[in-house]
Amino acid sequence: MTVYDYAKRTRSGKINIRAGNKVDRSLNGTVVVLGILTIAAFFFFDYRGFELVRAITETTSNLQTMFLQPGLSHFDLSHAIYQVGVTLALAMLATIIGAVIALFLALWSAENLSIGWVAKSIKIFVAFIRAVPTVLWVLIFAIAAGLGSAAAILGMLFHSIAYLVKVFSESFEEVDKGMIEALRATGAGWWQTVTHAVLPSTFTYLLSWTFLRFEINFSVAVAMGAAAGAGGIGFELFMASGFYFDLREVGFITYAVLIVAVLLEVTSTRLKRRYFPTKAS
């Protein structure tokens, strides 16, 4: 266990060394409580009808079928590619629209660019939106729009705006105050300050955060395809696992989602290398 030591100087000039602090004690206490609750939870499980050896054998067999024998039974490869494209389109649409709306809201929620009460009001509002999971927003919008792609996009859009407003505004608040004051001293207006100082100096961060949100929205779109009937590869995964119980098809869809996720990660890494070069380069 790591112990944090800190020194406190008394009035006489002597230094008293004390081990630990409130943060350290709170962290250790939380870990201990969670550990106790985790161990206690095992005593409240219902183990009736549970056979460990049989469960391990069946799970191993199912995993071998899924990942070592993937295949398609209820649709062909072209349909699978199309469904992956639908999922990507849902994620991209929610991300692009969300980023545009979040950009303007973030400008008003940045404390160095906006009025104090306006910035705090927007931050409180988006914090409330972020506190609600995306799937709940989808279900809320499904009441008005019905289950489908519209509800899924609106739910992802709502949560994406709240997420991006937070990270965008924090990036704007990190802009050098001296640069902003210099522009204002020369008579530059609010919009001129934003376009000539704030946006150029934070563009790479905005791009990075937006692409990160796109990756998140892709995974959410897969889940929403099953939960909200939004279509895409997520709906096919739901049908294969819950309706057909075709493990080979589940394995194929899992590999397809994994490949797309890896491609998105590679693209994100290349963007970071281009717009965030290391000091060595």
Residue 159, domain CATH:
1.10.3720.10
- 232 vs 210: CA distance, rounded Å: 22
174 lies in the same domain as 240: yes
Closest by alpha carbon to 235, among 247, 246, 223, 245?
A: 223
14 lies in the same domain as 109: no
Residue 180 sits in which domain range?
72-275
The residue count of the chain comes to 281
Q: Does 281 map to a domain?
A: no
List the chain pLDDT tens, one digit each, 281 residues. Answer: 444 444 445 455 555 545 557 778 888 889 999 999 989 888 887 777 777 788 889 889 988 888 888 888 888 889 989 999 999 999 999 999 999 999 999 999 988 888 888 889 999 999 999 888 888 888 888 887 777 788 888 889 989 999 999 999 999 988 888 888 887 888 778 888 888 888 888 888 898 899 889 999 998 888 888 777 778 888 888 888 888 888 899 999 999 999 998 998 888 888 777 766 554 33
Q: What is the pLDDT of residue 2?
A: 45
Contacts of 111 (CB under 8 A, 6+ apart): 119, 173
171 lies in the same domain as 216: yes
Q: Does 187 map to a domain?
A: yes
Number of independent structural domains in the chain: 2
Q: Does 249 map to a domain?
A: yes
Q: Does 66 map to a domain?
A: no
25 lies in the same domain as 89: no
Q: Does 149 map to a domain?
A: yes
Q: What is the pLDDT of residue 4?
A: 45
Question: What global pTM score does this model have?
Answer: 0.76
35 lies in the same domain as 76: no
Q: Does 46 map to a domain?
A: no
- 60 C-beta neighbours (distance < 10 Å), count: 10
Residue with tokens 């792609």: 149
122 lies in the same domain as 193: yes
9 lies in the same domain as 135: no
24 lies in the same domain as 124: no
Helical (H) or strand (E) element with 18: strand 15-19
Q: Does 164 map to a domain?
A: yes
Q: What is the pLDDT of residue 18?
A: 54
85 lies in the same domain as 213: yes
Is residue 103 within 8 Å of 172, Cβ to Cβ? no
- 139 vs 131: CA distance, rounded Å: 15
Q: Does 57 map to a domain?
A: no
246 lies in the same domain as 133: yes
15 lies in the same domain as 145: no
85 lies in the same domain as 163: yes
- 207 vs 202: CA distance, rounded Å: 9
DSSP 191-221: HHHIIIIIHHHHHHHHHHHHHHHHHHHHHHH
Q: What is the pLDDT of residue 275?
A: 65
Is residue 155 within 8 Å of 138, Cβ to Cβ? yes
Q: What is the pLDDT of residue 105?
A: 93
Q: What is the pLDDT of residue 10?
A: 46
Burial (0-12, 13-18, 19+ Cβ within 10 Å), 59: exposed
Is residue 71 within 8 Å of 252, Cβ to Cβ? yes
